Structure 1
Amino acid sequence: MEPKTRRRRRSRQLVATFLRDPGSGRVYRRGKLIGKGAFSCCYKLTDMSTNTVFALKVVPCSGGGAGRLCPKGKVEREIALHSSLRHPNIVAFHGHFADHDHVYMVLEYCGRQSLAHLLKVRQTLTEPEVRYYLRGVVSGLRYLHQRRIVHRDLKLSNFFLNNNMEVKIGDLGLAARVGPGGRCHRGVLCGTPNFLAPEVVSRNGHTCQSDIWALGCILYTVLTGSPPFPVGPLSEMYQNIRTGLYPEPTHLSPNARHLIARLLAPNPAERPSLDRLLQDNFFTQGFTPERLPPRSCHSPPNFTIPRPLGSLFRKVGRLLLAECRPPHPFTPKEDSGSGAEGLEPDPMKWASEAPLSEKRAPDPEAPVHLLTQGALRSDPAGPKGSPQLEVEAAIRNIQLCLDAGPDATQDPPGEQRPVLWAPKWVDYSSKYGFGYQLSDGGSGVLFRDGTHMALRPPGGQVCYLPTRGKLETFAPRYVPSQLGAKLAVLRLFTCYMERQLREEGPPPAPQLPAAPDLCLLRFFVSPQVLLLLFSDGTMQASFSGAQAHLGLSGAGEDLLLTLEEAGRPRVSNSLHALHMHGFSPAARQRLRFALQVLQSS
């Protein structure tokens, strides 16, 4: 009895806070417990020299002396097999070592936990999500099967998600190579009982088709919220598995039900191969997203960019098309006809979702092709004057910057200042208008008829400009009925842009709210750049591809040039700093291109 007691005590030994790999000399710090199985535990692990984060799988030693593994032991087989695998959809193996009490495996860290955790929060997943995850699983499983390896324990808790929401197959503790006949370990019953294939419960051994069966159980579970063969008395459950008897999920789509039936065919020969699985109508006739947002870990993602933003938008659109007859400011592609087809709006073009057509600063010598432009209209009864005053002011400010200082190898360090910015916009100008979200939390729409409406924080005051210089303000509940359709579009645009900003990360630091009469005077859209000219003299230029933005605010010696590029903080430089230090050729090239757009308008 005493040896058994000692073994139990040793298997319960705590894992040290600091661990050293004697082979590489690396020192690691053990973090929190992130998973626990029947034979092992998993911890967060940090390399003390690089701060790289890993997952640490810890298996108690079963004997054989300090640092030694039993020859042909289970853990040794797992290490030998897993360390030979390299695939983006399989948890990466980075190394292993052992001490007197434990064997340690250093693995890729998947910060979004597993699909089991996700399903516990979500209850069920949508079909597009399931297609996304299954494509990744099938890719990793195909890699295993090509190497004659069967996983033998495919289940949701063994599918891990990294921070990019990429799915990874993990826990290869039961994985094994199949023999010449395509089977392994006849008579052995291992794996999760209610995910076992009929041939396995009949003790005919695992094959690659046994993993296919498990995919059917997984597909059923994530779509319905419960497994096809609920845990119960083993004899009854195994009989249902052998005959393929499970509750028919009548609420699922026909394609989903058909694929489940194919995967859960009792005869292994009738189950589809992995390649044929992806050719099933469930995949070919349904939308599969290229990626998923992290928020889908706790709430269903919204895959559709609503073209008319639902039936409400269609009704609002009809009103707007009747009210907003464009005079001259807008030059988008016009409706090709009338009737219902003419009422269908163009798809929204989002700043963060537009195709990246340029990977560097645009060529200022290239011809300018404007896709659309618009302007706030002037009062016909007002004093005569140039409607291009804001364009001329922006041209002067760009020339001041271009004349300042020499070319530099990089932009000056600058400083972070609270400047007006439009981090999100939507171009729906060919039907309704151009919407934008400001860095102070406000939002606005320059409508197709040349009018402007904005929501100003705090309190959501509605500011309306029927023409330049004529500001009308209302509390939201007292907006005149004739402006109701425009307010509805403004609110819909605002809700959508705010949701996009929330998904992209934490909100920007709060800023002082802009003046009530601040508005977008004019915008220009080309394949390379979006130019926004605001009533306070601010100009913003946002370039596609390079994900670069620049802004000009103030005037004269108080002029500020603000630069932002992907992965770098936004910084501002005064005209004096530009004279002293100059700025990079790329920023200068972008300014020249913005100048060319303005001069060609």
Structure 2
Amino acid sequence: MKTPPRPKSTKLSETCAPPPETIRDKKRNKKYSRHGLLGEGGFARVYEVEDDHGGLLAIKTISKTALQSKKNRTKLYAEIKLHKALSHPNIVGFEECFEDEENVYMLMELCKAGNMMDLLRARKRYTAPETRFFLVQLIGACQYMHEHSVIHRDLKLGNLFLDESMNVKVGDFGLAALIEREGERKKTICGTPNYIAPEVLFDTSNGHSFEVDVWSIGVIMYTLLVGKPPFQTKDVKEIYKRIKDNLYEFPVDDPIPTEAEDLISCILTPDPNDRPTLHEILDHPFFSGITPPSIPSTARMSKPDFSNVTNAMSKHNMRRLRQQVELDISRPIAAKNGEEKTESVSVAEQEREFNKAVQPSSPISTLLSSARQPLIVANSLPSQPLLRQATTAALAEKEKKQKMEIHASNKKYMENLEKKDGEDEEIADQKLRIVSEMVNNDEKNKGKARALDENNQLPPPKSKSKSSCFVEMHTNLHNAFTAKREAKRFEIPSQYRDTDSDKASKVFIVSWLDYCNKYGMGYALTDGTVGVYFNDSTSMVLSPAKETVDYIASRGKSSTAVRKNFNIDKEIPKDLESKMLLLRHFEDYMLERLYGARSYTYVDEERRKGMTFVQRYYRMKNLIVFKLSNDVVQFNFYDHTKMILSQGGCLVTYIDKDYALSRWTLDEILEKQSKDEREKKKMEGILVKLKYCKDVFATGR
């Protein structure tokens, strides 16, 4: 029976179930306990894992179902081969790759401070000293890559990770390419719209080379200092037009340093041959400014103070920084795990192995075995760093007669990107982690996964606790989808069969306002309650009648929350007056601009205390998740649809883009059928999102 096609809007990564809670590398006899989801890409998901010795690592998971095409196999082979060959202080360390029955795994260094996009979202913009420091580290990594004939081709803030000491680590080599002969130019259109170089888009006849990474460095520098990419708009075609016309401008109201403007202008030159080399960038006067010895961890949330760093100290710091990132030394390509790079395998033999390994009929084990072998680079390549490749008509003509590129070209890339015209690029690049804080530390029970019973069902949670809401919802959703897959009927647990469904899901978020860079997250509920989840993890909620407030704070280091109720006209303590003012500000803004009169909104004037409030919220790439105090979990997708789960996940409320509300019990939504094609397609999309919610619970448990 032919497998039905996935909805076009669903990424391959979204169709992949989470890996087992204990991931085993049978060949090396090692196992890893899976923790939270860190991020996801086109056909992979990245999780935090813990080894047997308590060490934390990142593991990239690719479902084997996504590796049935030669294109995806080629991409995986190239990513493993190139990333494994590179070893530099500012490149994410590659540990190992292996497989099990369902997935392929890439084990890597864990960067505990997230990525530079996370920091930008928290801070809005970087200072010049921070930018200087991070750029030196990025350029050091780029020189090393270019020296060893590798172009990254997807340098962006989301792919620049930060370790616990706030050092840059370049990661995600999914689009990287190897220059196999001097003067070679790549023709594949690839990259991220805001960061892509003009020659990649508009000069496919001559192709592109190392200069595309230099262009991306210029975009990154602008983004760090200004707070957004230079060519950014919501329309992808308009972004491309601006790149082609070299249309960008520097802010006037809050200007950046003149030296920074000059350097950015030099780098963002349309002609790749006119761009500065990496060393020329570092020789620019911008890098003579204040340079700190390191970046404090507090910079994740607040602007660091470098006023005590003198010019003499800056010169010393810059010299040491250049040494740390190995800017002035040349090293051979990495040999991992005791392997030695020998000449026993020729470039031709390496290519034959590659062509065999990426065939869809070839076992995945063959691909991994070949990709693990040391990378062999043609001897004809120059030994000096390849910081610039000039294009000439003669080279272009010669290239036409050369053999086809090893890496599969993605001819439909531009078409696929144009389909995302309205997508917010910042959201598309976002790679935030779902941390294991969704479950209390004492309930994590690392390595103690709940076993499936003989019917492939998860048993109900043994105890009722704050975190068991997530466990219970995951259990019910897992069991429901398992029953559907096995053509069985899912039975709603007895405690939810005769409950009032309208009352259970009556209160949820109808509008929200993110002001986390300064204060916190504001929200309005369907019953007229308005609240703020402050950045210090306290909450204040205003009753629907606007006469009283509840203030919720944790008791010391305990997870227990203390709720106090105040009359806003008489009893607000002085230390809460500023928060009360902010709450009023959020209330005025949301009720005036965001809160609409819907069939499901009302004012519960009798509610004066014990109002529902947001206990936690989490940002992901495609949605934001809210956990409410009434055991409702709400998923707000970035396509402006909402999914609200209540009664342990057994009641599903869905609000479409036009604010229309639909509600089903879990067994109803799984069995719902329609002869109308439009309605059928709509329900398929809702089930895809519901399954995604299940996967979020699986990673957050």
Under a length normalisation based on structure 1, what TM-score does the superposition of the two structures give?
A: 0.48
Whose radius of gyration is greater, 1 or 2?
1
Q: Which has the higher contact order (CA 8 A, sep 6+)?
A: 2
